[in-house]
Amino acid sequence: MIDGVRSVTALAALIAPPATIDNLLAELESLGMISRGDVGIASPAPAPVALLAPKLPATPDQTTPALPLAHVRCHATRILIEMLGPAAEPLCVKIESTADWPEFVDSVKRARDIVHGMRGSATANQFTERLEAVMQGR
């Protein structure tokens, strides 16, 4: 839904109730998942909201799991979709775009925080447990 073209007003029309759009966008922005464009006073329409490009860490992590990152990313996104449905899409995009393990772990932590905010601590814990089971080969 957040594609860098659609305005905040257009996003608000897709969400019920529309008054929550500012809160949702502020949460996504605080988690580093989106960036709001500059909004000028003379601007005829609110600026679009775009996904942020992932930031690569300066040095690679020396303690990476034995499983391929692509395998674990796939399972992480599958778990999120099962838990959140279509609302998981931005989180899945962020996780799928990770290039290495440190970046993946950072994205999963952010996703867990969002799952906690949307579905509570029990579901957030279940997300973590299920992902850890995949990483341990269970």
Q: How many CB atoms lie within 10 A of CB 72?
A: 19
Q: What is the pLDDT of residue 80?
A: 94
Q: How confident is the model at residue 17 (pLDDT cuts 50, 70, 90)?
A: low
Q: What is the pLDDT of residue 3?
A: 61
Q: How confident is the model at residue 29 (pLDDT cuts 50, 70, 90)?
A: confident
Cα–Cα separations (whole angstroms), residue 104 to 33, 34, 109, 122, 136: 13, 17, 9, 22, 16
- The pLDDT tens digits of the residues spanning 91-124 come to 999 999 999 989 999 999 999 999 999 999 899 9
Q: What is the pLDDT of residue 60?
A: 45
On whether the CB atoms of residues 44 and 87 are closer than 8 A, the answer is no
Q: How many CB atoms lie within 10 A of CB 133?
A: 12
